[in-house]
Each structure stands twice: as structure tokens, then as C-alpha cells.
């Protein structure tokens, strides 16, 4: 009796289209289950990810969150949680999270994950479990190209002055601190802040709510630890008050005062960012944006320092989940992490 067995998948069974993202898919007729393809996909990622910045795996029948989680973990690094969150997310399963829970009709501008702090994942995967009926892309951009596209004087100014992110949690306006830090114990929050060089300050609201303000001095640009390339690496354009509609900016200032708005960002010494600098940043990011449509079952794997991501508005149901790995910590920046430099 002859036993039939499936021949192993070969590189020739895959189609690899260079670019950002580099699109990897099975060739027509190749029987490429995810399990069979994973060793080859790991090899391709090893060779290409830090050159192109991002890979899109499409057509590999990734049909469950579990399968996605195993796939992301198969690249050799344990998946990590989401600490000191910027936006609401839910844990879907294990180390897989929803992508940001943000109203569907709004865009999320390009950003590198957790570049508003000094500790971030080097790898991030997005899995499209359900493509939206309309819109809902996850546009990306080359952070090296963004860095090179700016006026060098702006880069020099931001790189040397760095940034100070100020967040006021709670007040019914932004994430509660309990959610951002994953604990309702102020002592735990203080411990996390100390370990990460974040200044924290508590105060009581008029109705007795315990409110938290954090101030964290961070990089505006960064050097990739493996490729040595410089990247634009901050969220000034997202945290600055000007990211909100003018009506909303005024309403927030009227309601809580300028120092208590949920989030804002300054130069490292506390000096305001210039409106024209923010306009240039937003303009360059727009020019560098690359969008492609999701197919249900796709996985996008990014080097989080080399490639930024965004979210387009959408209609109808959409489910895109996220996993991250390889925490990277920068050394102390500028003032040694005290948040109080003497220069600007
Ligand atoms: Fe993100």
C-alpha cells in the first residue's frame, strides 16, 4: 500500500513582492497551510524585515485568534502585555489585544507603538480577523524616510530638546489611571512610574476623585539598535492639544484649565512646541503614508521602530487585533530621567 504524504513547502511555492509592505503569499496551486508555511515565513522575516520594515502575510488561512497568537509567538520572542497604555484596548486572548477602541468614523494618525515613552516593543503584528465593509485600512510609513524628509533644523531641534509628555488621567475625559497602569493601587502606579522614570503627582478632584498627572521626558528621534538607522520616533502630533478640533480644545481648557487637559506635549524643558513645526510634522507624515486594503485572515508584521502605523475610518463591523514582542528600553535621556532639565 502506498502512503500519500504532502511534500514540504518550498520557497518556490511562495510569492514575495518587495516594497513596504513586502507582500508574501502562496503561489497559485500551492497548498500552504499556516503550519507548513511558518518556517519559511520566519526565514523571510529574518532576511527582510529590518530592511523593508514590514511584511504582509496574505492567503495563509489564519482563521483564529489562537492561530494568530501562535504564529506571532513563533518568531522566537515571548509576546508582551500592554503597559502604560495611551488608548483603550481590551485583552482578546492571552497576549492578543484589540487594536485601539476608537470611534470608527475617526482616523488615528501614523505613530510608532509606545513611542511616547522610553520602553516599547520592537515587533508588532496586526491580524485582520474581519475586514471592514468599507475603509478600515492600517496605513503604514517608513520612519527612516520620515526622519530624512524633515527640515534638518527641525530634526536637530527636536532631537536635542526632546519631548515632555504630560498626561492627566481620569476626570471623565481620558483613560482612568487604573486602566492605563492596570492597577487600582496608587502604590503600584508609583512603583511603575519610578521604574520607568516617570514623574507622578496625585491630587483630589472637587468631588473626591483621586486624580493622577504624569510627566515623562522622552526621545523625539531614536537610533535603531540593530540597523543603527535614525528614525523619527515620538507622538508629539498625537499628544499635542492641537490634535483635537478647535472646539474641543477650547471646551477642555474652559472645563479643566490648560494645565489639566488630558494630554499635551512640550519640549523637554516645558517650552511650547511651535505651530509651524507641528504643521510640518503632520504634512510629512501625510506624504509618507502607504495604505493597502485588508483581506480577512491577513497578518501584518512590522519592525515598530522602522515602520509607523495608523488607522483609517471604517463602516460596519471590523476586527483587527494586535500582538507585540521584544521590549526595548532606552537609557536615560537628556536630564537623566528627572524631567527637569536646566536647558532647552
Ligand atoms: Fe498603535
pLDDT in tens, 251-275: 999 999 999 999 999 999 999 999 9
At residue 88, the pLDDT reads 57
Q: How far is CA 326 from the centre of its chain?
A: 13
Taking the centre of ligand 1 as the mean of its atom positions, its distance from the CA of residue 310, in whole angstroms, is 7
Is residue 44 in some structural domain?
yes
Average pLDDT over residues 238-261: 94
- The residue behind cell 512646541 is 273
Q: What percent of the chain has pLDDT over 70?
A: 90
pLDDT at 134 over 80: yes
Residue-wise pLDDT tens digits, 61-103: 888 999 999 999 999 999 987 665 555 566 677 778 876 668 8
Q: What is the CATH number of the domain that holds 73?
A: 3.60.130.10
| Residue 268 confidence (pLDDT) | 96
Average pLDDT over residues 282-311: 97
d(CA 300, CA 193): 32
pLDDT level of residue 26 (50, 70, 90 thresholds) = very high
User: Does 332 score more than 80 pLDDT?
Assistant: no
7 C-alpha to ligand 1 centroid (Å): 39
User: CA 206: distance to chain centroid?
Assistant: 35
Q: Is residue 242 part of a domain?
A: no
- Within-domain flag for 41: yes
Distance CA 144, CA 121 (A): 17
Q: Is 59 part of a structural domain of the chain?
A: yes
Distance 113 CA to ligand 1 centre (A): 5
Q: How far is the CA of 57 from the centre of ligand 1 (A)?
A: 19
Q: Which residues contact 52 (CB under 8 A, 6 or more apart)?
A: 18, 19, 20, 21, 22
Residue 182 CA to residue 340 CA, distance in Å, equals 27
Q: What value does the mean pLDDT take over residues 41-64?
A: 95
Lowest mean pLDDT: which of 86-100, 151-165, 258-272, 301-315? 86-100
**Mean of pLDDT values over 9-15:** 87
Please tell me the distance between residue 126's alpha carbon and the centre of ligand 1 in angstroms. Answer: 10
Q: How far is the CA of 124 from the centre of ligand 1 (A)?
A: 9
Asked, for residue 64, whether it belongs to a domain, the answer is: yes
| pLDDT value, residue 86 | 58
pLDDT at 172: 80
User: What predicted TM-score, i.e. pTM, was given to this entire model?
Assistant: 0.90
Number of domains the chain contains? 1
List the domain range (segments joined by +) for residue 317: 16-106+113-132+295-329
Tell me, in angstroms, the distance from the centre of ligand 1 to residue 309's CA. Answer: 6
**Averaged pLDDT of the chain:** 89
Does residue 234 sit in helix, strand or coil? coil
Give 100 Cα–ligand 1 centroid separation in angstroms. Answer: 7
Across 184-203, b (16+ Cβ under 10 Å) vs e yields eeeeebeebbeebbbbbeee
Q: Does residue 304 lie in a domain region?
A: yes
Give the distance (Å) from ligand 1 centre to CA of residue 3. 48
CA of 88 to the centre of ligand 1 (A): 11
Distance 138 CA to ligand 1 centre (A): 10
Please list the alpha-helical segments (H only) found in the chain. 34-52, 65-73, 143-149, 152-161, 177-181, 186-196, 236-239, 246-256, 275-288
Please determine, for residue 339, whether its predicted confidence score (pLDDT) is greater than 80.
no
In the numeric block, the cell 508588532 is attached to: 124
Q: pLDDT-based confidence at 5, cuts 50/70/90?
A: low
Residue 308 lies in a domain: yes
Task: Tell me, yes or no, whether 259 lies in a domain.
Answer: no
Amino acid at each position: 500500500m502506498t502512503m500519500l504524504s504532502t511534500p514540504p513547502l518550498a520557497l518556490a511555492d511562495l510569492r514575495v513582492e518587495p516594497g513596504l509592505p513586502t507582500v508574501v503569499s502562496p503561489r497559485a496551486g500551492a497548498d500552504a497551510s499556516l503550519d507548513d508555511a511558518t518556517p519559511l515565513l520566519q526565514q523571510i522575516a529574518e532576511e527582510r524585515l529590518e530592511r523593508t520594515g514590514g511584511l504582509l502575510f496574505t492567503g495563509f488561512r489564519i482563521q483564529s485568534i489562537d492561530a494568530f497568537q501562535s504564529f506571532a509567538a513563533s518568531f522566537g520572542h515571548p509576546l508582551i502585555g500592554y503597559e502604560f497604555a495611551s488608548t483603550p484596548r481590551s485583552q482578546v486572548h492571552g497576549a492578543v489585544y484589540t487594536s485601539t477602541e476608537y470611534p470608527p468614523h475617526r482616523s488615528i494618525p501614523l505613530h510608532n507603538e509606545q513611542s511616547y515613552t522610553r520602553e516599547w516593543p520592537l515587533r508588532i503584528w496586526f491580524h485582520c480577523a474581519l475586514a471592514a465593509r468599507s475603509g478600515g485600512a492600517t496605513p503604514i510609513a517608513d520612519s527612516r524616510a520620515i526622519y530624512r524628509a524633515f527640515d534638518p533644523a527641525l530634526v536637530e531641534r527636536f532631537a536635542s530638546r526632546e519631548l515632555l509628555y504630560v498626561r492627566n488621567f481620569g476626570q471623565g475625559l481620558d483613560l482612568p489611571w487604573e486602566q492605563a497602569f492596570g492597577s487600582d493601587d496608587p502604590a503600584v502606579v508609583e512603583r511603575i512610574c519610578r521604574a520607568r522614570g516617570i514623574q507622578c503627582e496625585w491630587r483630589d478632584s472637587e468631588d473626591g476623585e483621586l486624580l493622577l498627572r504624569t510627566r515623562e521626558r522622552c526621545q523625539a528621534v531614536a537610533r535603531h539598535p540593530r540597523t543603527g538607522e535614525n528614525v523619527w520616533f515620538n507622538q508629539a502630533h498625537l499628544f499635542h492639544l492641537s490634535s483635537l478640533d478647535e472646539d474641543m480644545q477650547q471646551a477642555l481648557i474652559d472645563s479643566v484649565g490648560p494645565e489639566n487637559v488630558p494630554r499635551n506635549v512640550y519640549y523637554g524643558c516645558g517650552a511650547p512646541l511651535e505651530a509651524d513645526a507641528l504643521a510640518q510634522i503632520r504634512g510629512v507624515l501625510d506624504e509618507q503614508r502607504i495604505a493597502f486594503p485588508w483581506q480577512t485572515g491577513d497578518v501584518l508584521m512590522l519592525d515598530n521602530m522602522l515602520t509607523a502605523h495608523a488607522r483609517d475610518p471604517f463602516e460596519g463591523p471590523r476586527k483587527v487585533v494586535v500582538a507585540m514582542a521584544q521590549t526595548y528600553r532606552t537609557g536615560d535621556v537628556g536630564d537623566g530621567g528627572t524631567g527637569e532639565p536646566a536647558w532647552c
